[in-house]
Amino acid sequence: MQTTVLKLQTTDRARGIAATLEEEIVLGWLMPRERLVEEELAERLGVKRHVVREALAELERVGLVERVPNRGAFVRLLDPTEVRQIYSVREALETLAAEQIPMPAPDRLLSRLKEIQDAHSAAVASGDARAAFRANMIFHEALFAACGNPHLVELIQAMAQKVHGARSITAASAEHLALARDEHLGMIEAIRAGDRARLVALCRKHLGPSRDAYIAAAEARFARSKTIAR
Amino acid sequence: MQTTVLKLQTTDRARGIAATLEEEIVLGWLMPRERLVEEELAERLGVKRHVVREALAELERVGLVERVPNRGAFVRLLDPTEVRQIYSVREALETLAAEQIPMPAPDRLLSRLKEIQDAHSAAVASGDARAAFRANMIFHEALFAACGNPHLVELIQAMAQKVHGARSITAASAEHLALARDEHLGMIEAIRAGDRARLVALCRKHLGPSRDAYIAAAEARFARSKTIAR
DNA sequence: GTCGCCATGATTGTCAACAATTCTGTTGAA
DNA sequence: TTCAACAGAATTGTTGACAATCATGGCGAC
């Protein structure tokens, strides 16, 4: 066995950096409004500045980061209206996908989901928020990919990405993680039982907590920032 | 009156270049499989290479262009399956949006659509495919923006963009352009009459021609390329 | 004649220096 | 004290040179 030193190119490395920054945002390690200085990130993450630059451009396109010319990049702060709109689209998309998942589901899908969920449950049990986040993403991708339309899956993921900046509240909370775990188990069970209505309902319900937690927090913050002016 | 020489920065210029290239693809000026050489484009469009680079990265993200490391960028060739999947999602999204357009519609919306359609009709009459394409995009944006959810509109546009590479057949055909014009007029009329069902049906029907034309052409091409091998 | 190999050219990928812009803190006058 | 102007620092934006990589075509061996 030979350890191949694979040499990635800028675009790929930038993707990796973007993913890393995305995680740090979701986990609340990078907070909204926080400034993202190119050289700083470049040094910390061990890449050249132009790679960071490209990563930031990607995160801007995705909507996680805001960039103003000559001033730099910031973690974007979503306002409650926007969050509501995004979640409304997510609901429609995920319902659409869930309705196209073949029922009865192939064993292959069920065992795959169970396997992923084991990893997720383990991460939740050990309180490893990062691992939980990763497993969570993989679970949803595998679930919706079963609808058979990769382009629909892509949209679902894109919309999920958009609100990652709004998820630092729930992504680190043991309570919310446990709830997510239980709902995942419920989805698997619904698929196994061939109960489509229940699956769709669970998907919809699954979106609620993080949305509501963020909106509550954001509205409190907005109210505050109004009284303090700016 | 003073002509301000506004100085755009790379990101913005890249957006413009990307839009230009997109148009050239839609109008069939750049064909699928055609190679896009950075320096060549840079010179032709009057920008530095790194701007073209960023534009190509964006077009790759969108799905109009394919890039292989160290080999360059090509106009992406969509296979019929993919096109079908994308159009299926488009149908769902546009239906969803059309169902949320307020009825009766505000006069403001109607007059706006009429105004845009006048420009479109004029372009169709004069056979100006580029102007028709632009007016067409503006029409659809204005139409779906009326649903009130900008994020849904964004998705609709993203999916439309994806198949731009498949539209060179219809985008330049006088016949198809005339049909599109009539359908637009039908939509305006449906909105005016408050006939939501008709609007939704028209939107769905509106997607058909370019999809079917491309699939027919592509299947012929695939069949050919199979016999000729490669 | 065909296959494989190397030299060459065309193209993309990487980098670090430089330019331009914005931000911060200080000074001095009203 | 407050404000404006200004210098200096911090940061982003731009450029051209250089390195790495891949396609092409010629040449020789079989």
Per-residue tens of pLDDT for chain A, all 230 residues: 333 455 677 788 889 999 999 999 999 899 888 999 999 999 999 999 999 999 999 999 999 999 999 999 999 988 899 999 999 999 999 999 999 999 888 999 999 999 999 999 999 999 999 999 999 999 999 999 999 999 999 999 999 999 998 888 888 888 999 999 999 999 999 999 999 999 999 999 999 898 998 888 877 776 655 444 33
Is residue A54 within 8 angstroms of chain B, CB to CB? yes
Model pLDDT for residues B17-37, shown as the tens digit of each residue:
999 999 999 998 998 888 999
Separation in Å: D1 C1' and A12 CA: 56
Question: From CA A81, how far away is CA B64, in angstroms rounded?
Answer: 32
Alpha carbon B2 to chain centroid, angstroms:
35
Residue among A167, A179, A178, A180 at smallest CA distance from A213: A167
A 19-48 residues, CB < 7 A, strand D: 35-39
Cα–Cα distances in Å, from B120 out to A121, B128, B185?
Answer: 56, 10, 10
Rg (CA), chain B: 19
Is residue B25 within 8 angstroms of chain A, CB to CB? no
Model pLDDT for residues B68-80, shown as the tens digit of each residue:
999 999 999 888 9
Bridge-based pairing of strands B65-68 and A72-75 is unpaired
Q: Any residues with CB less than 8 A from the CB of A143 and at least 6 apart, and which? A: A101, A113, A187
Is residue A62 within 8 angstroms of chain B, CB to CB? no
Per-residue tens of pLDDT for chain B, all 230 residues: 333 456 778 888 999 999 999 999 999 899 888 899 999 999 999 999 999 999 999 999 999 999 999 999 999 988 899 999 999 999 999 999 999 999 888 999 999 999 999 999 999 999 999 999 999 999 999 999 999 999 999 999 999 999 998 888 888 888 899 999 999 999 999 999 999 999 999 999 999 888 998 888 877 766 655 443 33
Bases of strand D lying below 7 A from some protein CB: 11-16, 20-23
Element (H, E) at B74: strand B72-75
Mean pLDDT of chain B: 89
Question: What domains, with CATH codes, occur in chain B?
Answer: 10-75 (1.10.10.10), 80-227 (1.20.120.530)
Which residues of A fall within a CB distance of 8 Å from B53? none
Among protein residues, the one whose C-alpha sits closest to the C1' atom of D12 is: A70
pLDDT attached to residue B224: 56
